[in-house]
Amino acid sequence: MTEPVTLAEVKAHLRLDASETVEDRYLEILITAARRAVELRTRRSIVGAAPTIAGDDLASARHAILLIVGTWYAHREGSTIDARSAPAEVPLTVSWLLEPLVRWDSGDDA
């Protein structure tokens, strides 16, 4: 299965040395987990036989994946602390990127 965001793209986003490979496996795990988080949050698929996120929506989803990976890489615990010293699970930016992509079940079988 090919992820929508590559290891090289993640390293560039995080400003990591592309030749340094010590954390490659960890970053690959984060990429997969972030993609799954986007799919679950939007109730749409990015990879597989019949992806339902494409075009501009895929660009937004890819950016969300980069932001999620960056947050998880920088904060290896389950939450971060915001400006008010309150715990926050995901940066608001990710919510703004994913909200338009959410597919709600209309109750139709189609």
CA distance 23 to 25: 6
The residue assigned the tokens 């984060």 is 30
Which is it for strands 87-88 and 80-81: parallel, antiparallel or unpaired?
antiparallel
Rg from Cα positions in the chain: 15
User: For residue 61, what pLDDT is reported?
Assistant: 96
Q: Are 28 and 69 in contact (CB under 8 A)?
A: no
Instruction: Give Cα 41 to chain centroid, integer Å.
Output: 10
| Prediction pTM value | 0.77
Q: Is pLDDT at 1 greater than 90 in this prediction?
A: no
The overall average pLDDT reported for the chain is 85
The residue assigned the tokens 């079940």 is 105
User: For residue 89, what pLDDT is reported?
Assistant: 63
pLDDT tens for residues 49-91? 999 999 999 999 999 999 999 988 987 766 666 678 776 665 6
